[in-house]
Amino acid sequence: MLLIAIGTMGLMAEGYHPGAVYPGVAGVISLLLAAYALQVLPVNYVGLALILVAFALIVAESFIPSFGALGIGGIAAFIFGAIMMFDSGIPGYGVSKMFVISFGIILGVLLFLMVSFILKLRRRGAVSGEASIIGGTGRAMQAFTGKGKIWLEGESWAAVSSIPIEKDQQVKVRAIDGLTLLVEPADP
């Protein structure tokens, strides 16, 4: 069970970060060792299929906005598949239920952290481009009425204002015209 989990996660990590090499190598070796172990142990293929579906659902959770539904389904499929996989009735050829439940809880915690991180990123808003500049607050680099320069997000920008702006005064960006910002004083 552990070899299948490590192998699948290693190949997923290699797929997300091509060229990392180590996760892919560890994943392939783990899956090959798991395949060898599956030849020796009596395997229920429905349990194995449930485990593969579980990992597919957990990966899909990263790409589809289901707010945890796919991940919870994946964890449930993993727990049921792991319990069913080696249920042969032969003493000593089973999987520890405590191991399966512990691994399911670890997957659940990782899934919860991933979903909370994604939701936090979603609330963050734009961090680049026009959407991050409009409404932003900068500082006037010089006193001006009409054309001047402001400092915004670590860059010097050409700015235009119909209202007089003093040096070091906070300005708010209202619009963008090419590479020129249309600004007004931030404080009324």
Q: pTM for the complete prediction?
A: 0.48
Same domain, 64 and 152: no
Same domain, 152 and 66: no
Same domain, 145 and 117: no
Q: Within the chain, which residues score under 50 in pLDDT?
A: none
Same domain, 164 and 84: no
d(CA 163, CA 87): 78
Q: Which of 124, 144, 168 corresponds to the end of one domain?
A: 124
Taking all residues of the chain, what is their mean pLDDT, rounded to a whole number?
83
Q: What is the pLDDT of residue 138?
A: 92
- The predicted-structure confidence for 27-62, as pLDDT tens digits, reads as follows 889 888 887 877 766 677 888 888 889 888 877 877
Query: Which residue range forms the structural domain that includes residue 153?
Result: 130-185
Same domain, 100 and 137: no
- The predicted-structure confidence for 76-92, as pLDDT tens digits, reads as follows 888 888 888 776 666 76
